Structure 1
């Protein structure tokens, strides 16, 4: 498991956008990942909710990581869809993704994104995507 974590952390640390936005890789397994993001004012839109693009970034990155881990290497998103359930409000976001099926070259992954407010997790988005092995 340490090898998986080291690989995932290396890939995550090499993503300038993830570093810039302030995301963190919190846990990972052979086909799953959890990313977190402390909510800051620059993540919000005009109504005070986390911008949908920020939530979408977390979901996309999480499913790509889950798929890449399941495929044993680097991966890219071939497609994904997201359903926004409720506004992202609170102190931070948690994206939990898992590969639901992995073949030789592609994996189908799902992600739940939660907004944490007052210590309570509230589902704010669901995403699903197809991840393909890179190279």
Structure 2
């Protein structure tokens, strides 16, 4: 995917059943990074009406991995990430913006900011993450 083909990247996302379940979609994919968005419907909220932390973690995980894919190609998996929740996320959707910080030929380190978007379009950072992904060999 290092040719920055957003349609091919969207096909990869659509092949992930969990991504379909949460309603994720890629709104940007390129050399400057990726953006993954998730609409906040009631099933993705916790008891106080905020986005569940697992939704934010999923967004960070996948955005980091797709960002790494811009440097390494599509045959990669997440090797780990950390996330800090900064404030409750309440709005229409969340967007995870991730970019590559450093990459070798087999592994990439990425950073991600997750913003929550309010009804009027205002944005607030609700979480930040850092993680890496590495190439894998797929047996066929």
TM-score (norm 1): 0.94
Separation in structure 1 between the aligned mates of residue 28 and residue 79 of structure 2, nearest angstrom: 24
Separation in structure 2 between the aligned mates of residue 109 and residue 3 of structure 1, nearest angstrom: 16
Contact 1:77 1:130 in 2 (8 A): yes
Structure 2 gaps of 5+ residues are: none
Structure 1 gaps of 5+ residues are: none
Secondary structure in 2 matching 1:87: coil
Separation in structure 2 between the aligned mates of residue 27 and residue 38 of structure 1, nearest angstrom: 16
Equivalent residue number for residue 10 of structure 2: 9
Residues 120, 94 of structure 1: alpha-carbon distance in 2 compared, 3 angstrom cutoff: same
Residues 59, 3 of structure 1: alpha-carbon distance in 2 compared, 3 angstrom cutoff: closer
Secondary structure in 1 matching 2:5: helix
Secondary structure in 2 matching 1:56: helix
How do 1:28-47 residues align onto structure 2 when only pairs under 5 Å count? 28-30=29-31, 32-47=33-48
* Deviation by residue 1:13-51 (Cα, 9 ceiling, x = unmatched): 111110111111111003621111111011100111100
Separation in structure 2 between the aligned mates of residue 26 and residue 121 of structure 1, nearest angstrom: 16
Contact 2:81 2:130 in 1 (8 A): yes
Please report the RMSD computed on the Cα atoms of aligned residues, expressed in angstroms.
1.5
Q: How many pairs align?
A: 135
Separation in structure 1 between the aligned mates of residue 60 and residue 30 of structure 2, nearest angstrom: 17
Displacement after TM superposition at 1:3 (Å)? 5.6
Equivalent residue number for residue 57 of structure 1: 58
How do 1:1-135 residues align onto structure 2 when only pairs under 5 Å count? 4-30=5-31, 32-117=33-118, 118-135=120-137
